């Protein structure tokens, strides 16, 4: 195996790189790929239904599922395809800096939803932005703003939301935008990595051909019970140009 030819994002899933199990095993999903209750809220941009983007991403997901090692991954629901713009709060992660300053750590999630909705009343919306694919990885797609202006707009949205909600995750300034297809149950054996690299490269090329700019809906504040459904509570329309 010629390791330098393999993407760092793929190598992250290599069994030889880990002595520990995947970090979400047992909390976000079980060893059978069934998603567990992990309630919280978030702000995401769902993929627009009925678009070439949706068709391309569904086709990509099917190629992941056709891999011999697909059973080593928990696949999120096809209807939940989205890009997270800003992380909300998780009921199981009640600590700073993952929780708003000055808000009791035992506040029920329903009350947190209401608090965030109240704060969103004061939100100055950011600019509209477009997103394109950087790379396909075993967990899904890594994306970014299609242009420098789009990347600036996405960072601006995140800064506005962080100031409004009162917390910033440690990765706030270098957050990697993504569209999740899977979570690993077990790591990939090193000898299968070249086949995965070929599949991922083909997926990325097909998406770039079919959807060079990904068609996403406006950001929306959502609540969720697990990783299979993100219920839109309030759409955050971008500022008018």
For the stretch 53-76, pLDDT in tens is: 999 999 999 999 999 999 999 999
Average pLDDT over residues 214-240: 96
**If we measure between CA atoms, which residue out of 85, 89, 106, 105 comes closest to residue 40?**
89
Cα angle value 155/157/159 (rounded, 5°): 70
3-class secondary structure per residue, the chain: CCHHHCCHHHHCCEHHHCCCCCCCECCCECCCCCECCCCEEEEEEEECCCCHHHHHHHHHHHHHHCCCCHHHEEECCHHHCEEEEEEEEECCCCCCCCCCCCCCCCCCHHHHHHHHHHHHCCCCCCCCCCEEEEEEECCEEEEEECCHHHHHHHHHHHHHHHHHHCCCCCCHHHCCCEEECEEECCCECHHHHHHHHHHHHHHHHHHHHHCCCECECCCEEEEECCCCCEEEEEECCCCCC
Q: What is the pLDDT of residues 115-124, one digit of tens each?
A: 999 999 999 9
Total-model pTM = 0.95
Give residue-wise pLDDT tens across range 170-204: 999 999 999 999 999 999 999 999 999 999 999 99
């Amino acid at each position: 195996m010629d390791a330098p030819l393999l993407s760092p994002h793929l190598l992250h899933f290599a069994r030889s790189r880990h002595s520990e199990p995947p970090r979400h095993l047992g909390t976000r999903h079980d060893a059978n790929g069934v998603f567990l209750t992990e309630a919280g809220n978030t702000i995401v941009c769902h993929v627009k239904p009925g678009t070439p983007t949706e068709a391309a991403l569904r086709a990509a997901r099917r190629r992941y599922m056709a891999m011999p090692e697909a059973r080593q991954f928990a696949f999120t629901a096809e209807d939940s395809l989205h890009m997270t713009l800003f992380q909300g709060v998780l009921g199981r992660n009640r600590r700073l800096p993952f929780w708003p300053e000055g808000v009791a750590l035992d506040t029920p999630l329903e009350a947190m939803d209401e608090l965030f909705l109240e704060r969103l009343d004061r939100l100055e919306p950011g600019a509209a932005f477009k997103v394109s694919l950087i790379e396909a990885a075993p967990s899904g797609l890594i994306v970014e703003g299609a242009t420098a202006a789009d990347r600036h707009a996405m960072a601006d949205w995140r800064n506005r939301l962080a100031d409004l909600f009162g917390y910033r995750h440690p990765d706030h300034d270098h957050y990697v935008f993504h569209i999740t297809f899977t979570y690993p149950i077990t790591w990939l054996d090193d000898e299968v990595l070249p086949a995965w690299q070929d599949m991922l490269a083909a997926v990325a090329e097909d998406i770039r051909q079919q959807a060079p700019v990904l068609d996403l809906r406006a950001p929306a504040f959502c609540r969720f019970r697990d990783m299979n459904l993100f219920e839109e509570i309030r759409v955050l329309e971008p500022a008018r140009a």
